[in-house]
Amino acid sequence: MPKALVLIADGSEEIEAVTVVDVLRRADVNVTLAAVKDNLQVHCSRHVVILADELLANIPDASAMFDAIIIPGGINGAKILSNRVLMEFENSNKWIAAMCAGPTVLHAADIGKGKRATSYPLFKSRVEGHFEYQEEDVVVHGKLITSRGPATAMLWAVIIAKELCGVEKAKEVSMQMLFKTPW
């Protein structure tokens, strides 16, 4: 069973965070929702409170334990995520997924330089010199999966499920949710 680490912080975008956790758990991915600060209670961008499963600080060697690290958007949340953990995932050739403001975190950590990627349109100018910027809803390049914003969260989550679990499992989960996949 694949394992995914979803990072959240105060200011994270709740649609993006909850959607990816829900879809991946439906696909039988063992998902750990990790708070990057010292409190399991996370106050998201639209005042939804999410209770994380674990504190990131309590996960000693995340890249050895998980197949993917996932960064939902949210301006405040995106600014404080851990560069060290991201570098470990990239150096271990593990999946890295980010959406909305999340690609700015990757840029700050020097992750995915030169790869095709996308972000929320407002952040294009901040990341296009680092990535080969694409105007697509979801972009997969190597082990990097990026997406644009709340409206693309379901597609992003299903594509992450496809990469972690295979196309058949992603189709099965999509059908259960009445979501039409592009494949």
Residues annotated as catalytic (active site), given as ranges: 100
| Cα–Cα distance list, 167 to 57, 122, 170, 181 (Å) | 33, 32, 5, 10
Pairwise CA distance, residues 153 & 181, whole Å: 13
Pairwise CA distance, residues 89 & 7, whole Å: 13
Crossing angle between the packed helical segments 153-165 and 167-176, to the nearest 10 degrees: 140
Q: Can you tell me whether residue 141 is helix, strand or coil?
A: strand
